Amino acid sequence: MKLAFLSQFHSTQETGISRQSYYIVQYLEKLQIAFSLYTWESISKPFMKWGKYTIQSWKDLITDFDVLLYYGEWWAFPSLKIFNVFNCPMLWYCPLDTEKPQEDFINFSSNFDLIIPVSNWNRKILENYSDNVVSPIPHTVALADKQPQEKSENDKIRIGTVLRPQRRKNIFALCEFLMQSDSFFDVISEVSYCELNLSDAFNQFNIDFRIRQNLNARQLRQFYDSLDLYVSVSMGEGFDLPVGEALLANKCVLVSDIPAHREFGIPKNNLVRVSGEAFSAPGWSLTDTEDMIRKYEILKSKNFPSLNIDMNSYLSYSVGPLWGELLNNLKEILSYTI
């Protein structure tokens, strides 16, 4: 089998989709599937190196493949014209982050012979719009080995999160919570998130904070290990990778009550109510700040206990065989769906 893998990844391996793309190509190698790697990004050079892998721009995409696998969101696909030049089956590994897909999403999904969800709740939504949805393959959750502890700047409770652009609607609910928690706030944020000046927002609420970017695997593990509590106020996730990483690091979490978080098995005491109607994009609703503060105080009184959630199904030795089962039996699976 010759496979074209077209991914929405960015130029660094540390971000969510990039990291998952990296795991997928590792699985393809173990399956001994011949593949070429493409990105939708505009690249100044025709090729770029990503670890030991050579990436081509989608504009140089050739069509002599047995199957095309696209991983990314529907709006990030480089050009619908690609559909007109492929005569092979097309697969979409789909991280849907809303319960109410837009019409453009539905039209886009109709071009694929198979849609692979990233979670069980994703599957339930996608099955309303397509007959070609297969069993989910979760994202791979992994962390480096435990690292020496960072020196703490102070004795405050350490709360951390990973902020991405789609969480900007909830930033002030988060700030209201942090202002009352009297904690040190450690933030990992993408460079693109500067469209909302986080520093200004945190200073406005007198929050003691640090913003970090582009952490390597060792630094990422140190980030989680240093925390007393990981929080997420995201309203839309197909699979919330940082929450999974926090759980893998045995951290206490306090996160919004959305399907992607519930699917991890997070108990109600660690889920924050959502005010208003969730997933009403583009006007996403907010987490309930009062509920968040109340549950935070309870967790604090218990010294932020680890949830001890079994993460084995999200580790590489569980996820890799799912890709093997799908791709090794692709012809048979397609015969039932096309």
* CATH code, domain carrying 76: 3.40.50.2000
> What are 130's two structure tokens?
């397509």
Residue 273's domain comprises 158-313
Task: Give the separation between CA 35 and CA 28, rounded to whole angstroms.
Answer: 8
Distance CA 20, CA 15 (A): 9
pLDDT at 44 over 80: no
Residue 50: its pLDDT value, please? Answer: 67
Residue 146 lies inside a defined structural domain of this protein: no
- Across residues 286-301, what is the average pLDDT? 92
Instruction: Decide: 190 and 333 in contact? Cβ < 8 Å.
Output: no
Kindly state the average pLDDT of the residues 23-51: 77
What's the token pair of residue 212? 């970090």
Average pLDDT over residues 254-276: 92
Q: Averaging pLDDT over each range in 75-79, 128-132, 154-158, which range is the top one?
A: 128-132
Closest C-alpha among 13, 21, 263, 3 to residue 139: 21
> Which position has the higher pLDDT, 15 or 173?
173
Q: Is residue 48 part of a domain?
A: yes
Query: Does 168 lie in the same domain as 307?
Result: yes
pTM for the model stands at: 0.90
The reported pLDDT for the residue numbered 294 is 95
Q: Do 93 and 136 reside in the same domain of the chain?
A: yes
Q: Do both 266 and 165 map to the same domain?
A: yes
How many structural domains comprise the chain?
2
250 within domain boundaries: yes
Determine, yes or no, domain membership for 76: yes
Q: Taking residues 110-139, report their average pLDDT.
A: 94
Residue 113 has pLDDT above 80, yes or no: yes
* Other CB atoms within 10 A of residue 131 CB: 9
The reported pLDDT for the residue numbered 191 is 55
Q: Please report whether residue 52 resides in a domain.
A: yes
Bridge partner residues of 48 (DSSP): 55
Highest averaged pLDDT of the listed ranges 64-78, 116-130, 189-203? 116-130
Does position 246 have pLDDT exceeding 80, yes or no? yes
pLDDT band for position 69 (cuts 50, 70, 90): very high
151 assigned to some structural domain: no
What are the tens digits of pLDDT across the range 198-226? 788 888 889 999 988 878 889 999 999 99
